[in-house]
Structure 1
Amino acid sequence: MSELPRRLLFDMMRIRAVEETIAKRYGEQKMRCPTHLSVGQEAVAAAAGAALEPADLAVSGHRAHAHYLAKGGSLKAMIAEIYGRVTGCSRGKGGSMHLIDESAGFMGSTAIVGGTVPVGVGLAYPMKLKRTGQIACVFLGDAVPETGVFFEAVNFAVLKKLPVLFLCENNGYSVYSPLSVRQPPGRRLYEMVAGFGLPTHHGDGNDARAVHAALSEGVAAIRAGEGPRFYEFETYRWREHCGPNYDNDIGYRSAAEYEAWKLRDPVPALQRALIGEGVVSESGIAAMQAEIDAEIDEAFAFAEASPFPDAGEAFTDVYARPA
């Protein structure tokens, strides 16, 4: 039983360290693409990665690093992609917001808000028809349920009883706009989505084990043929919407709000809990961190040593080859 919490902690620490390193090194001007970091939101991604099976498929949006890594995507390939190198998971042509790794079941991310929601539902349709036992996981943020394509996709998933896990990380903001200026007073996203006729759940996105328990129950129900589920977890991004810096001074949110959420940091919270339970020791956590740091150093070295794509590749893989 101790293996699961150790895995959750390791994956959260790994995601945190990867993104903090990206932020630290972004100023070197070698990562020439926008980056949307999810520092502070690691618990949901780690829990989802543990709840899903390798054969399940996932899609995401612009803030996708954690989802890609949690689903089993290659760290070397992700960093190389952010560096624009041909060894990247999108051969250096997608950058941070367009990650794909079919071998890991990560079927793509996009900068278009809501853009991969119908893709995820489309992936689920043949799963249902062919009875593969797979699930399609659609990672989304709190702005996505405001898009028309979300309404259409959820309606279709409910109508066809498709095996889709809609997983919403509600960090309270769409760029600089809080929910209070985007939704009427008293409206809750999970309650609104329930109106489409699917079970929904709302929980604390900083409690990795609670997130995993909830998702595992939902995944089992979806896999048993009970149709789609929508899960909303409250979380918070620490850094600016796009980029490596902090933006608590520009007026859309306060430093006090940030500090309040930082006190609920999911990574040290799980570390303290597992130390108290005797699942892991401080030296064990230090060993985890050393392993993670070595992997990150190797990934960045790999990226910097990799070549840029040849100019002739600019128009390859843009369209699917004819059958």
Structure 2
Amino acid sequence: MYGKEHGIFTSPNWPTPYERNTNCLLYTFVGEADDIVELTFDEFDVQKNSNECLSGDFVRIFLHLNGTSVDEATPWNSVLCGTEVDIEQVHYSAGRALVFEFHSDGRHGDNTGFRGTYRFIKKKNYRVDGVAVPNTTCSYSFASANRTEGHGHFYSPLYPSTYPANMRCLYSFVARFNERVRITFDKIRLQQGDYSCLTSPDVIIVHDGKDQTARVIAQFCNTHYFVELLSTGPDMLVEFISRSKSPGQGFKATYHFEEELHYAEGGPSSGSGCDQLFSSTASRNGTFSSPGYPDGYPADTRCTYHFSGEGIERAQIVFLDFDLYKPDDSYHT
């Protein structure tokens, strides 16, 4: 598909059943040099004769193309058959071109084929906001001292397309001495399997320090959404390893360099007189209260209570007593 930013594609005769003995019908999508292709199968009904979809009717997708065409020797990335519940519906190319092949054999069926949409999107939307490490294929460094903004994005190789096999990438974050590193994985989709991350071929390992000898604070495989991690010091290292033959989409994440708070541990700071910091390294549970409790709190008071966990810890707060002044509606009129 050339010359359009988006559009629709269908199998032959859709929505009526497609013809039998359709051999190597190619759908080719080519964008500009700085584009990637997003392909979505909105409706899908292709006769399924095997779980692997390697015989009978199938759609074979080529995502990692060096050029704009394929032949018998071109490696494919995904093969689909069945219905929507059996397939990955959204696919992304690694470069400007995406090709898929539709094949049907001679066996009788009343399957209707597929209907989908395509669009070309800019590759720069998935640019890593770091400095590529020389003589590596996918490692990056992120230094707070070299950035005007204290935040950015980073991704697995070729994201949002599937990542290549046999990769090892290091993402090194270096904050200033008075900062910490906060990382949020918005989405993680690695190779699926019924195994632990200790034996998974594709894994993300997060170290609370500058290198792989530092303490591991998180390890991810399979699928996760919205996971947040905070370093205890100015350094954090994310290690991504892919060894599977059927890679997933990978991950997208954000990082923030945050100034470390210097409140007194579980007590007031020297500034406001009522700001407090509670860290899980000091105590994993405790109590907190407003100034003067159980007596009335003073007027014109503003206090900040900061709860800080390590790694993937989360803070749970339960208010056992709560009595604040609430003005009536006439106060706002």
**TM (normalized to structure 2)?**
0.26
Point out the structure with the larger strand share: 2
- When Rg is computed on C-alpha atoms for both structures, the one with the higher figure is 2
Q: Which has the higher contact order (CA 8 A, sep 6+)?
A: 1
**TM (normalized to structure 1)?**
0.27
